[in-house]
Amino acid sequence: MRIVCRSGAGARPRIKAPPRVRQNGRVTLYRDEGVVLRTQKLGEADRIVTVLTRRGGRIRAAAKGVRKTKSRFGARLEPFTHVDLQLYERRSLDLITQAETLRPYGEHLVTDYPRYTSGTAMLETAEKLTSEEGEPALRQFLLLVGGLRTLAERGHDPRLVLDAYLLRSLSVAGWAPALDECCRCGTRGGLRGFAIASGGAVCARCRQPGAATPAPPTFALMLALLRGDWEYADGSDPRHRVECSGLVAAYLQWHLEHGIRSLRHVEREGDRPRVVAPARAPAPGGDLPNDPGYPGYPDDPGYPDDPGYPDDQGYPGDRGHPDGAGYRAGPGDSDDTIDRERV
């Protein structure tokens, strides 16, 4: 307490109250686990991290200094990583103060291009299907974790895993396609087309012009992926897988009302180039591959008169050869020109 005295006759001392101490606002720290969907650069050393969490749905948070080489947890906030986070709640972007890795799915996916691209499409789809930030989406989170774990285990074809995830995530969002009955009249059996705008399979009577006409095994494959019948899915024909992938991708992007950019990089089984061995010229002794004179077979004597290259001395005059060999300089060539030619 501070006492201030006034000068002059009859002045009475006046007590001055100490200054008020401001109370800090309520500091809110919370923990949640989630899967990192994507990252964006922020400033010179920070990042904005988009995470699909178990309790809080999709959130965007700032991570300070994670782009520096001495960052404590920068490597843990990469896409495909299942992390446990501690965050500080702020007005705009929450701040990540701690991160612990639970399952690093990215380590198993980055070395396999088909699985990496399928996983990237899954992350992008999960972000688009959780459009409301901060709205809980527990089923979407569990579905994404299960899909990434299946990809990392390498037990099934990555395109099948992706199609199964897309069908189930659409079902969780309320857009499950009709696959075992007509989506217009409800008739079971006799399905002749797939109408994306109508909601799935249609019978011959309800089929509209422009509807796709997939094969019956394609409907069975889509239904098996939706229900988790991997025994049937793994034994399906490649052409039915390609047809199924096209229908699922078109159906997804129709309901999202915009495209999934990652899908254009996903490899389909039918898109892989066939590697055909070049035809070898027949040997002088025969015209067929099984002919004893065909080079490369165990009984083929080869070329006995071929001396090989045991006495090859290179090209005399080349400056890159130990003897100074191979390229003979012309009258207008400089030393720099010779070095460029040799490189």
Task: Write out pLDDT tens, residues 44-71.
Answer: 889 999 999 999 999 999 999 888 888 8
Q: How confident is the model at residue 280 (pLDDT cuts 50, 70, 90)?
A: very low
The two structure tokens encoding residue 204: 């011959």
Task: Please indicate, yes or no, whether the overall pTM of this predicted structure exceeds 0.85.
Answer: no
Using the structure block, give the residue that is written with the tokens 């400089």: 334
CA–CA distance, 311 with 252 (Å, rounded to integer): 66
The pLDDT, as a whole number, for residue 72 is 80
Mean pLDDT is lowest, of 4-13, 116-125, 181-190, 317-326, for 317-326
Of 81, 58, 143, 123, nearest to 262 (Cα)? 123
Of 260, 253, 223, 217, nearest to 236 (Cα)? 217
- Indicate the DSSP class of residue 178: B
The two structure tokens encoding residue 295: 């080079």
Using the structure block, give the residue that is written with the tokens 């490369």: 296
Has residue 216 got a pLDDT over 90?
Answer: yes
In this prediction, residues 196-215 reach a mean pLDDT of: 91
Mean pLDDT is lowest, of 150-154, 158-162, 237-241, 296-300, for 296-300
In the chain, where does DSSP find H-type helix?
Answer: 106-109, 113-129, 138-153, 158-173, 216-227, 230-234, 238-256, 335-342
Domain with CATH 1.20.1440.120 in the chain: 113-271
Instruction: Work out whether strand 94-104 and strand 57-63 pair parallel, antiparallel, or are unpaired.
Output: parallel
Q: What dotted CATH number matches 29-104? A: 2.40.50.140
Amino acid 68 reads K
CA–CA distance, 239 with 245 (Å, rounded to integer): 10
Q: What dotted CATH number matches 113-271? A: 1.20.1440.120
Q: How confident is the model at residue 210 (pLDDT cuts 50, 70, 90)?
A: confident
Torsion of CA 188, 193, 196, 199, to 10 degrees: -10
CB distance 265 to 117 below 8 Å:
yes
Q: 245-278: per-residue pLDDT in tens?
A: 999 999 999 999 888 999 989 876 545 544 333 4
Of 76, 78, 124, 126, nearest to 102 (Cα)? 76
Domain with CATH 2.40.50.140 in the chain: 29-104
CA–CA distance, 238 with 160 (Å, rounded to integer): 11
CA–CA distance, 36 with 123 (Å, rounded to integer): 8
CA–CA distance, 303 with 298 (Å, rounded to integer): 13
Q: How confident is the model at residue 28 (pLDDT cuts 50, 70, 90)?
A: confident
- Residues of 254-288 as b/e, b for ≥16 C-beta within 10 angstroms? ebbeeebebbeebeebeeeeeeeeeeeeebeeeee
Has residue 297 got a pLDDT over 70?
Answer: no
Instruction: Work out whether strand 57-63 and strand 46-53 pair parallel, antiparallel, or are unpaired.
Output: antiparallel
CB distance 194 to 211 below 8 Å:
yes
Q: How confident is the model at residue 317 (pLDDT cuts 50, 70, 90)?
A: very low
